Amino acid sequence: MTATDPRVLGIGADVRRPDSVTDELLQRLVSRVRGSGSTWELTEVYTGETLVELPQSTPADIEAAFAEARAAQELWARWPVAKRVEVFKRAHTLLVDNALKVADLIQVESGKNRRMAIEETCDPPMVMSYYIRRAEKLLKPKKHAGPVPVVSGATEVRVPKGVVGIIAPWNFPFATGLSDAIPALIAGNAVVVKPDNKTALSPLFGISLLEEAGLPKGLFQVVCGEGPDVGPTLIDNADYVMFTGSTATGRVIGERAGRNLIGACLELGGKNPMIVLDDVPVEEWVESASFGVFGNTGQICMHIERIYLPESRYDELKAAFVERAANLKIGAAYDFGPEIGSLVSPDHCERVAAHVEDAVAKGATVLTGGRARPDIGPAFFEPTVLEGVTTDMVCGVTETFGPVVALHRYRTVDEAIKLANDTEYGLNASVWSGDIARAEAVAARIESGNVNINDALATAYASKGSPSGGVKQSGVGARHGDQGLLKYTDAKNVAVLKKQVMGARPGQDYGAYVDQMLKSLKLMRKLGR
């Protein structure tokens, strides 16, 4: 690609930040951060220009944020579930009505293309819709049988954990900053969120919309800072931790949460495979696969980094995929033209480039792409397809998290499954076939928390009624589904004995009591109790 290539958009164009992102708005948003320490220079990714100084939080700031959140939570937890849900019904409308403004903020801070930014704005409303429907049923006390029929019983009561600490990543700042908090709040908790410094604006704006919808002030707090500076104090004050990020950081967070005897949900890294069977319809596959690899410039936890193609159709499928990748429109623009936007920062661009350079140095072939594009913006990198990647290359085993994919050929389906499972990760996988039953049989053998059939990643993640999480080194716990709300609660067991029938009656021979008890156990089993 060159500066005159029609596939390149934004070169020489006006990429000023959108009119909606005013200095007044930026100052108003960062003023919501509980921070009295130094400041961090938040920049516009497309241009590298400074947007605003982001306050950084000291340990004392974090403790104060938790104290205020805890006081607000005591009152919030007393609200009937239906009353809490009403806040999120109003918030749903506000989020949808402000989607374009949210997309402006997401683009400014992350550099993603507008198509992806708009899709991101849809995630919190989708999560709200699910829990608005399900919350009252999930949180309603449940009656259970007691040990002695008729005269005893137990009630399962769901109570909020207290204050949930959320550590949100930069790749989907608005979605993860809000969507993980929504079920925690509906369940009666308060939240303290730490967004990434690079992408704090959109979650801050989202929280302001929640408060406009009626969420009590102080209930949803924001602290900012680098992970090692902020993380320990946040975890030490939290009653539960939700983290999305790398496996290495997840281990550190999990260990600290374990020492504090609090729960943690961790969605971690992936090296996600796609298996393409020999009966795949090529046109449908190419379009979905290109999004699964290059969507959000490859910065999706569930994006595909390994594609396994059948030897019998390898050349045909490779040619079709490489052609699509080579013709993706890349550019810096606040309109819907570009299909590929920027990486989040120059540092991350250098990391992606280093993975490609290492692969090439060790014998891999670049079929298309493979270069940084500073002529477009400080952190742009071309959609890249590699061939001949092996496990002695960094990108052969480590998550690249960029617009880079490796193509591999296989001879038998058993071989493809073995190769797909040959990783320490297990977050997402994809299987493509013209025969759904055949694809389902393959999916059943893949070691992954999510498997998409005839899609790359979106169907699994957008199915909000089904839990989504990783296995192996890709995480612990899940978001979405009933589990995504219940994890933010404790189950209190309230048991009632209406008559004192437990134990031997006064004067009764204990041996006779034991005989009666054992007979009762057999009878209860026959009665299905």
**CB neighbour list of residue 96: distance below 8 Å, 6 or more residues apart:** 125
**CB neighbour list of residue 139: distance below 8 Å, 6 or more residues apart:** 81, 158, 187, 188, 485, 489
Provide the 8-state DSSP code for 162.
Answer: S
CA distance 229 to 369: 37
Which residue, chain included where needed, has tokens 């890349």? 330
CA distance 394 to 400: 8
Provide the 8-state DSSP code for 249.
Answer: H
CA distance 316 to 318: 6
On the CB side of 296, how many CA atoms lie within 13 Å of its CA?
A: 22
Choice among 224, 301, 349, 395 that is catalytic: 301
For the question of residue 301 being annotated catalytic, the response is: yes
CA distance 251 to 469: 16
**CB neighbour list of residue 279: distance below 8 Å, 6 or more residues apart:** 433, 434, 435, 438
For the question of residue 357 being annotated catalytic, the response is: no
**3-state SS assignment for residue 462:** helix
Estimate the share of the chain in helix, then strand, then coil, as percent rounded to the nearest 5.
45, 20, 35
Look up residue 203 and give its amino acid.
Answer: P
**3-state SS assignment for residue 272:** strand
Which of 200, 210, 217, 265 has its CA nearest to residue 239?
265
**3-state SS assignment for residue 153:** strand
Which residue, chain included where needed, has tokens 């009561």? 157
Q: Are 275 and 416 a contacting pair, CB within 8 Å? A: yes
User: 475-476 and 450-453: which strand pairing?
Assistant: unpaired
Q: Are 300 and 112 a contacting pair, CB within 8 Å? A: no
User: 263-267 and 475-476: which strand pairing?
Assistant: antiparallel
CA angle 386, 388, 389 (to 5 degrees): 75
Choice among 44, 109, 267, 382 that is catalytic: 267
Task: Write a three-state SS string for 171-213.
Answer: CCHHHHHHHCHHHHHHCCCEEEEECCHHHCHHHHHHHHHHHHC
CA distance 276 to 285: 9
CA distance 248 to 252: 7
E-assigned strands of 268-378? 272-276, 304-310, 330-331, 365-368
Catalytic residue IDs: 267, 301
